[in-house]
Amino acid sequence: MQSSPWWKEATIYQVYPRSFFDSNGDGEGDLPGITARLDYVQQLGVDAIWLSPFYTSPNKDGGYDVADPRGVDPRFGNLEDAKELITAAHQRSLRVIADIVPNHFSDQHHWFQAALKAPRGSKERARFHFYDANSDGTPPNNWISLFGGPSWTQVEDGQFYLHLFDSSQPDLNWENPEVSEDFEKTLRFWIDLGIDGFRIDVAHGLVKEDILKNHPDPQGLSDALRLDLAMDTEKRNALLLTVPYFDRQGVHEIYREWRKIFDSYIGRDIMAVAEAWVHPPVNATRYVRADELHQVFNFDLLTAEFTAKVLYDVIDRSIALNATVNALPTWALSNHDSPRVVSRIGQEQAGALALFVFGLPGSTYVFAGQELGLPDGELSDSDRQDPSFFRTKGVIKGRDGARVPLPWSGDATPFGFTTGKPWLPISQSWSQFTVKSELKNPKSSLHLYQNALKLRKEFMNGSGEITWVESPEHASKGQALLAYHRGSVTVFMNLTDITQECKVDGKLLIVSSGTVDAHNEMKVIPARSCAWFIA
């Protein structure tokens, strides 16, 4: 009997290298620092680590502006450090997923430097999107960068190049075979080094259409595509239906070729997960068809309100849509591009929601620090480094708050992260969130995650589908509770500010906060909490 692929119901721990642990005192996390803390990651109970970019980069956009996708930036170490990290992870039965950034390069990449020196119509410029100005000297179209400001920058000879993000990140032209050939080299380079999979940045953005056409609401569309900006859901969805540069049919041809590469490594079970925030949601399932990628991120929980109706709709729809292509969903509450879940919905609510999704079928992604219950960092404008902050002249604060380094130990900032000055300041208020203090506290968020992930492996993984027993669709108590059966376990979540009674047989396995009491034949679920019971 063939075993299920390792990634099907894995828990993947996202490490933002610059913010994890600094091994040399320069104020920035690095690859040896990650290696030094792998025992902590293993003891958390995850199955894999996902490394945000550590490649050679001028770091204009947190490393997502890649100057050499097959090299390690000196701020993080060197190639030998990468090899040691991969080996050390494998020794602890941890798989390693690397970010890959195929939508754009850094403007310091040798291809783009050559393009700047080359004339119009040259093969060097054909690797990117260079176009002449309009007759009035304006850019080829009115598109707005997702980081604010125009999506076009003019070079000395008058042509413009396209960048959906910062001007230091020119978009690649995937109609040029040289681009696909170079990325095949990159994929094989890291797989041969031991990498077990890839998180594909802006996976839906590689193919553009109607480049010379204006959009009727370019600023609105740019805002709609940002996870860190609040927007009316109906308005956001209407704008997403009009995007000309994301989720075009051509991206699927690219990933069919990538899948052939992954499958050529017999016995390795190489996987890839797409960062593809698309609308309507059914479009996401196209990325995980049998001959394409293995997973696609479900971003709905990154913006979902802590209400029964919203969460039920998101979860039920995701499970149903993935079933149409014989795939399992992914679940993520935080990442490096969005506000931390605690800051968005509250401390107790975040713990309850984490426990609730840990029981669901599919894989779950945990952003480093989420297990500690970290909120967004407290930053002044002078601390900020996100390009979106500068491109919008401070209107958009950016993503730095979610990227503040982790607190490890001690009573004073920077809490053992570094012996130097951390690249982003760590608030003294985080003393309660250090790894050392939470390990001593049996009621801490860290202990909740450790216990929950152990129980997930023991009782949930491989247990098949869920059956809803409390939901807005067929609840006996309105929207007070969400609950489902999976295998021998029943999961109840109380989303209200008061205790709720539920009828459930079985023994309590875990509760996210508070104490579950018994009242006659009923169990009393604490406010803003989730509990698992086993029959």
Q: What share of the chain is helix, strand, coil (3-state, %, to 5)?
A: 30, 15, 50
Contacts for 323 with CB less than 8 Å, ≥ 6 apart: none
- Rounded Cα distance between 432 and 407, Å, is 9
**Phi/psi of residue 39, each to 5°?**
-65, -40
What is the residue-level pLDDT of the chain in tens, covering all 535 positions?
Answer: 347 899 999 999 999 999 999 999 999 999 999 999 999 999 999 999 999 999 999 999 999 999 999 999 999 999 999 999 999 999 999 999 999 999 999 999 999 999 999 999 999 999 999 999 999 999 999 999 999 899 999 999 999 999 999 999 999 999 999 999 999 999 999 999 999 999 999 999 999 999 999 999 999 998 888 766 778 888 888 998 899 999 999 999 999 999 999 999 999 999 999 999 888 889 999 999 999 999 999 988 998 999 999 999 999 999 999 999 999 999 999 999 899 999 999 999 999 999 999 999 999 999 999 999 999 999 999 999 998 898 888 888 989 999 999 999 999 999 999 999 999 999 999 999 999 999 999 999 999 999 999 999 999 999 999 999 988 865 444 457 899 999 999 999 999 999 999 888 889 999 999 999 987 778 999 999 999 999 9
Phi first, then psi, for residue 228 (nearest 5°) are -95, 10
Task: Give residue limits of the domains in the chain.
Answer: 11-103+177-380+427-453, 462-534
pLDDT of residue 228: 67
d(Cα 271, Cα 97) in Å, to the nearest integer? Answer: 8
Fold of 462-534: Immunoglobulin-like (2.60.40)
d(CA 93, CA 89): 6
The two structure tokens encoding residue 409: 């130990």
Q: Name the pairing type of β-strands 481-486 and 160-162.
A: unpaired
- Number of neighbouring beta carbons within 10 Å of residue 237: 14
For the domain bounded by 11-103+177-380+427-453, which CATH number is listed? 3.20.20.80
- String of b and e for 92-131 (b: at least 16 CB within 10 Å)? eebbbbbbbbbbbbbbbbebbeebeebeeeeebbbbbbbb
| Long-range contacts of 497-505, Cβ-Cβ distance < 8 Å, separation of 24 or more | 497/527, 497/528, 498/527, 499/524, 499/525, 499/526, 499/527, 500/524, 500/525, 500/527, 501/525, 502/470, 502/477, 504/533, 505/533, 505/535
DSSP helix/strand/coil, 470: strand
CA distance linking residue 480 with residue 136, whole number of Å:
60
- Side by side, the strands of the sheet bearing 152-154 are 130-131, 160-162, 152-154
CB 297 within 8 A of CB 277: yes
- Burial (CB < 10 A; 0-12, 13-18, 19+), residue 438, is buried
Q: Structure pTM?
A: 0.95
The single residue listed with the structure tokens 């499970």 is 319
* Tokens linked to 51: 């490394």
Q: Pairing state of beta strands 48-51 and 95-100?
A: parallel
Could you give the C-alpha distances from 402 to 49, 456, 515, in angstroms and in order?
18, 26, 31
Residues annotated as part of the active site? 201, 275
What pLDDT score does 248 carry? Answer: 94
Residue ranges of E strands in 355-423: 363-367
